[in-house]
Amino acid sequence: MSHQTVVVLDFGGQYNQLIARRVRECSVYCEVLPYKTPLAEVLAKKPIGIIFTGGPNSVYLNDSPHVDPAIFEQGIPVLGICYGSQLMAHNLGGRVTAAEEDTAREYGKTKTYFNTSCKLFQGLPTEGITWMSHGDYMEKVPDGFSLVAHSDACPNVAICDESRGFYGVQYHPEVNHTQHGIDMIHNFLYLVCGARGDWTMGDYARNTIDALRKKVGDGKVLLALSGGVDSSVAAALLSKAVGDQLTCIFVDHGLMRKNEGDEVEAAFKDRSLNFVRVNAGERFLGKLAGISEPEKKRKIIGEEFIRVFEEEAKKIGQVDFLAQGTIYPDIIESGMGDAAVIKSHHNVGGLPDYVDFKEIVEPLRLLFKDETRALGRELGLPDYLVNRQPFPGPGLAIRIIGEITPEKVTTLQDADWIFREEIAKAKLDRDIHQYFAVLTNMRSVGVMGDGRTYDYTLALRGVTTTDFMTADWARIPYETLDLISRRIVNEVRGINRIVYDITSKPPATIEWE
Ligand code: XMP
């Protein structure tokens, strides 16, 4: 694919994925690499610019993350953000120290003054709010650098050496709280790095379709179609690329939401692709019987998926490629590269070692969720498919805490159905990006009629998010929650208590397992 690339070197800051998104919003392709990536590997990407992210460490400590200093001798522009700017200053002869209390140490929204003759701030107002989060500051700026922004407390908020294309900012331009932050990133990309803006969904679709055609040749492709956004977009992309060499297999693992199996079948049956539905509910529930550990559930489901595909593949004849709708956050959160394992998403970490296919194709692995939706629209998929809220591969298995039984699946399906129905009726389904019910493993005492009950607690979860990497809990009006709670307790047997989850991500995750 012929597009320019920016590399984001990850030093462990909390907003690193957001930086990548901002770069892509500026129509420039970008990849996040761990800071330990050997310089040769970074250079092999032929980056037009490099961005150092923030991070929790102090550059002057020996065990803090560092870079190969040769990175500054490649003629490639660098933008350092927070820790990244201190790292650049530290490497190029400046001095970074712990800020004294109440002086140069800054957290939160901070009034900042900019020198707009610096390319980074060109065309922007001379003052504005920035989002700071730093306990260290650049006491001495390296030779050749000028100070180009300051705040009331700190003289060194931004530095630059325009002759070498080096820029450092103490604040976070990638977060929305920084006014014109995206414009500063845009300036770095276009005025400093010479970006052309060649990352558009139209280009991406065309390039990917061409690349898929070349890769697949006249081979056969099997796609795991769940009916969710990701696999539906992957299906559309692959069917444009290789037509009827593609077979889509929908494995109904018996852990779908109420009526979902039939809905998926109805949505895809009449499209011009080979669609096969496999009803494997009993098989999956059998394998999951007695299992309560979340990662084990995920691995079992991931493995069973692959087995079902292999069996279906054999019926079709020689299948060369297994396609999956894996997207970028799945890869990051499954602990690829330097990131910690949060949970193994069934379509990444759960893959068994032995897979009886020549190769796995994942045409969406570079995309964030909203980019996937945009691609879906580009490919002409209908809105109801593109805007579907995400549903995890392991389905209700990871929304039933503890052991899974067929009865619990039915209970959860019925409760979740009511929740979704009422959210739609309240016209909140577009504002809340993901909402679902979780059957907890906890039972408590209640009173119904004149009798004592000892039944399960159901948790409701609703989140707002742009990329599903971070999320806030949705402020569902009390009246709606009240209605949902009363309906579920009255209509679904086995539940006598409803709670609403009010944790954001982080520290929680969106799903409960
Ligand atoms: P978490 O729970 O990790 O979820 O905050 C982030 C998003 O990913 C979805 N999710 C999955 N999607 N396979 C998937 O395809 C999985 O194993 C999986 N686990 C979580 C989750 O629903 C949310 O949208």
What tens digit of pLDDT does each residue of 105-123 get? 667 788 999 999 999 999 9
Q: Does pLDDT of 29 surpass 70?
A: yes
Strands 29-34 and 78-81: unpaired
User: For this structure, is 30 an active site residue?
Assistant: no
Q: Does pLDDT of 501 surpass 80?
A: yes
Global confidence as pTM? 0.68
Verify that 378 and 409 share a domain, yes or no.
no
Structural contact between residues 216 and 243, judged by C-beta atoms closer than 8 angstroms: no
Task: Give the pLDDT of residue 332.
Answer: 60
Verify that 239 and 159 share a domain, yes or no.
no
Task: Give the pLDDT of residue 350.
Answer: 46
Range of the domain at 29: 5-192
Structural contact between residues 509 and 399, judged by C-beta atoms closer than 8 angstroms: no
Q: Does pLDDT of 92 surpass 60?
A: yes
128 belongs to a structural domain:
yes
Structural contact between residues 85 and 52, judged by C-beta atoms closer than 8 angstroms: yes
Task: Give the pLDDT of residue 338.
Answer: 43
Q: Which of 165, 192, 219 is the last residue of a domain?
A: 192
- Span 212-257, pLDDT tens digits: 999 999 999 989 888 888 999 999 899 899 988 999 999 999 999 9
Verify that 148 and 120 share a domain, yes or no.
yes
Enter the tokens of residue 279. 């009803």
Q: How confident is the model at residue 104 (pLDDT cuts 50, 70, 90)?
A: low
Average pLDDT, the chain: 89
Q: Which of 162, 192, 222 is the last residue of a domain?
A: 192
Least confident of 53-67, 77-91, 156-170, 260-274: 260-274
Structural element, H or E, at residue 130: strand 127-134
Beta bridge pairs of residue 113: 127, 150
Give the ligand 1 atom nearest the CA of 343: 3
For range 176-201, the mean pLDDT: 95
Catalytic residue among 30, 90, 106, 172: 172
The CATH number of the domain holding residue 355 is: 3.40.50.620
511 belongs to a structural domain:
no
Least confident of 309-318, 354-363, 440-449: 354-363
Structural contact between residues 229 and 388, judged by C-beta atoms closer than 8 angstroms: yes
509 belongs to a structural domain:
no
Task: Give the pLDDT of residue 339.
Answer: 44
Task: Give the pLDDT of residue 336.
Answer: 46
Verify that 382 and 263 share a domain, yes or no.
yes
394 belongs to a structural domain:
no
HEC string for 330-379: HHHHCCCCCCCCCCCCCCCCCCCCCCCCCEEECCCCCCCHHHHHHHHHHC
The CATH number of the domain holding residue 416 is: 3.30.300.10
Task: Give the pLDDT of residue 343.
Answer: 55
* 38 upstream amide cis, omega within 30 of 0: no
Q: Whose CA is nearest to atom 16 of ligand 1?
A: 345
Strands 321-323 and 359-361: parallel
Q: Which residues line ligand 1 (CB under 6 A)?
A: 333, 342-343, 345-347, 390, 392-394, 434, 468, 505, 509-511
Q: Which of 168, 192, 216 is the last residue of a domain?
A: 192
Verify that 244 and 177 share a domain, yes or no.
no
Percent of the chain with pLDDT over 70: 92
The candidate with the shortest Cα–Cα distance to 170, out of 76, 77, 107, 121, is: 107
Greater pLDDT, 370 or 292 = 292
Give the ligand 1 atom nearest the CA of 509: 5
Verify that 276 and 366 share a domain, yes or no.
yes
Verify that 270 and 354 share a domain, yes or no.
yes
23 vs 50, 68, 144, 173, CA distance in Å?
Answer: 11, 24, 27, 11
Verify that 205 and 309 share a domain, yes or no.
yes
